Amino acid sequence: MTLPVQAEKVQNNKETRSPLARFGRKWGLQIGIVAVALVVWLTFVVTAPRTFLSGQIYQAFMQTTPLFAMMALPLTMVVIAGEMDLSFISIMAWGVAIYVLVLGWTGSILLAFIALLLAGLFAGLINGLLVVKIGIPSLVATIGTQFFWAGVVLVISNGTGASLVSAEGTPIYNMMVGRLGVVPAQMIWTVIIAIACWIFLNRTKLGGHVYLIGDNIDSARLMGVNVDARKIMVFAIVGVAAAFTGMAASYEVTYYWPTLGAGYLLQTLASVFLGGTSAFGGVGTIFGTFVASFVIGAINGGIVAAGLTGFWTQLIYGCIVVISVSIQTMLGKRLR
Amino acid sequence: MEYMLRMVNINKSFGEVKALRNVNFEVKPGEVVGLLGDNGAGKSTLVKIITGYHKPDPGGDIYWKDQKIGHLSVSEARKLGIETVFQERALADQQTIWRNIFMGRELTKAFGFMDVRKMRNETLDLMNSIMGFTSSAVTPDNAVKTMSGGERQGIAITRALYFNAELIILDEPTMGLSLTETRKVITFVSEITKAGKSCIFIDHNIFHVYPIADRIVVVDRGAIAGQFTKDTVTLDELIDRLYRVAQTGVLDTSSNKAQA
């Protein structure tokens, strides 16, 4: 009885599925973002050859880009799961505020650093619980927690910053922002986090569920996926990553600002969406976010090097978010 | 073992509304039972009791392979081997075929790492054997959204078969499908019986149920209005009787009641 079905199948596929088309379909997102990266890079090389043909600017990129890439990578998982997190910028400062507090009580940088990670985990879990157990849309819930943690930080620190000079030269400081030759430690962390996120999403059972949840939450639930636990998990991971990144950003300038995260929201989101992650969930790659975050980082440096004022950066990031999400949505419609 | 599933004297009320009245229902091993009835007749309530989603009112009994089941929950029903294939909600469209086949039951190596290669290979085997995809252009890495409605239904049915479902419930599997696509679904249903499993096929369209089902059970207003084995009734007779049921709520079952 299966024979007629088979015959039909072969006919249907003959003209529509050449190997090239199949390759494009599978790797389209990755090819797209690499092409964007090349175009952006070539543009800057042409408009500001002196800057973009010297090694210095690339070292600067490796120093600054990780400070949002390390959050954009785990945030990609939240977006793939069909959710959103806007609170990570406040969690950065909240984590470091706890670090400063614990360091003051105990004098131990190690204890303070552990407290920082736990503070991030706690804030991430709260986000997850609000979304899953109470059922608030994540966009709204995390705007709420964004304001909340920013407020907590101001109350704890009385609105004033703190010097982090005491940490300079310690193992933890070197681990976070030291230099390995010319490569800043945070760049190495970014690569480690990217590899870890990739393995988690593509090679583990728990991570694989993230795609299923974002794609069709009903079917995932019916097939026995613990949807609630997985969502809380990805929010928690972003929380820890935000606190960790906040620490790196603060160590980098050896000073803690209570308004630490303020500049990172747009760059982080732009990295995720430019990287090809669907705003509707279910689709996205770690590789895309990784490359996209360096495109975003390059745009920041490139705009200034190309002779425009820094005021242009925000305008361009805004355009990138809107355009990349629009292209995603239109491509998605055409396929449906 | 005479029956895979036997339900005796099942009642179900939702507050004042009696959704099911004294229902006796059984499925034999290897049998395809067509469950036919209008919207609201009680088909889905009956099925939701079988899948453990609803609890029947006290007084009725459910037997699985001659063993009485005290309390049936959704997860227990799955463990017994009862799988439901839903029309719309079964698959994650943007994911690959192998991800969908193994959804929620991924094969793993140590430490929760997925055995991706094994899942791909198993999927390829299933595609060649049960699903009948022989074109090399369709691989386990194709996204489900690129497939037709009938093929998708096939993936959902294959998934249930692979995980050793004993009783597969198809909830309106041909809804919204074209004639050719419907034929494909019917092919998949025949695979179910070939594998020696049982199947409950729910539909309100007699023309979809009749060609596949060994036995057709008609539900009307919360009760079993009658049942026919296919060899005792022609399609025309059946249609005739269904009109009568729709008008009066009772079937003239003097000659054709199969299980009497």
pLDDT tens across A154-173, in order?
999 888 889 999 898 899 99
Count CB atoms within 10 A of the CB of residue A77: 29
* Contact state of A212 with B95 under an 8 Å Cβ cutoff: yes
B116, A216: Cβ pair inside 8 Å?
no
The verdict on a CB contact (< 8 Å) between B113 and A10 is no
- B194 vs A: CB within 8 A: no
Amino acid identity for residue A309 in this structure: T
Token duo for residue B11: 């009642």
Alpha-carbon distance B154 to B186, whole Å?
9
What is the pLDDT at residue B238? 81
> How high is the pLDDT of residue A333?
65
CA of B114, closest CA in chain A: separation in Å? 5
Asked whether the beta carbons of residue A223 and residue B133 sit closer than 8 angstroms, the reply is: no
Q: If we measure between CA atoms, which residue out of B208, B204, B201, B196 comes closest to residue B235?
A: B208
Contact between B141 and B98 under an 8 Å Cβ cutoff? The reply is yes
Successive 10-residue mean pLDDT values, chain A, 336 residues: 39 51 70 84 84 84 93 97 96 96 94 97 97 95 96 91 90 91 93 96 93 91 87 97 96 92 90 90 92 89 75 83 81 60
| B96 in contact with chain A, both atoms CB, cutoff 8 A | no
What is the predicted pLDDT for the residue at A22?
A: 66
Tell me which DSSP letter residue B32 carries.
Answer: E
- Nearest CA to CA, how far is A272 from chain B (Å)? 18
φ, ψ of residue A221 to 5 degrees: the values are -65, -45
How many angstroms separate the CA atoms of B133 and A69, rounded? 42
Amino acid at B121: N
Closest by alpha carbon to A156, among A95, A109, A247? A95
Instruction: Using an 8 Å CB-CB cutoff, list residues of chain A that contact chain B.
Output: 1-6, 8-10, 13-14, 17, 22, 25-26, 202-206, 208-209, 211-212, 215-216, 218-220, 222-225, 282-283, 335-336
Contact between A160 and A93 (Cβ < 8 Å): no
**Count of residues for chain B?**
260
Residues of B in contact with A206 (CB under 8 A): 112
Residue contact B94–A215, C-beta within 8 A: yes
Asked if A215's CB is within 8 angstroms of B93's CB, the reply is yes
Would you state the pLDDT for residue A331? Answer: 74
Q: Using CB atoms and an 8 Å cut-off, which of residues 56-75 of chain B contact chain A?
A: 75
**B89 and A26: CB-CB below 8 Å?**
no
Q: How far is B259 from chain A (nearest CA, A)?
A: 30
> What pLDDT shows up at residue A8?
40
CB atoms within 10 A of CB B79: 10
* C-alpha span between B187 and B165 (Å, rounded): 18
Nearest neighbour of B132 by CB, restricted to A6, A17, A218: A6
Alpha carbon of B13: minimum distance to chain A alpha carbons (Å): 25
Give the model's pLDDT for residue B212: 82
Q: Please say whether the beta carbons of B13 and B196 come within 8 A.
A: no
Categorise residue A73: left if φ over 0, alpha if ψ from -120 to 50, beta otherwise: alpha
Of the partner residues B103, B137, B190, the one whose CB lies closest to the CB of residue A219 = B103
- Residue A81's contacts (CB-CB under 8 Å, 6 or more residues apart) are A210, A213, A214, A230, A231, A234, A281
Nearest alpha carbon to residue B50 among B165, B221, B182, B185: B165
Report the residue from A1, A4, A222 with minimal CB separation from B190.
Answer: A1
Q: How far is CA A208 from CA A197, A200, B29, B152, in A?
A: 11, 8, 35, 20
Q: Which residues of A27-60 are buried (b: 16+ CB within 10 A; e: fewer)?
A: eebeebbeebbeebeeebeeebeebbeeeebeee
Q: Which residues of chain B have pLDDT under 50?
A: 254-260
H/E segment holding residue A184: strand A183-184
pLDDT at B89: 61
Instruction: Label residue A125 exposed, middle or buried (CB < 10 Å: 0-12, 13-18, 19+).
Output: middle
pLDDT at B110: 81
Nearest to B229 by CA among B216, B218, B242: B216
Nearest to B94 among A2, A208, A283 (CB): A283
Tokens 């599933």 sit at which residue? B5
Please determine, for the modelled complex, whether the ipTM score is greater than 0.90.
Answer: no
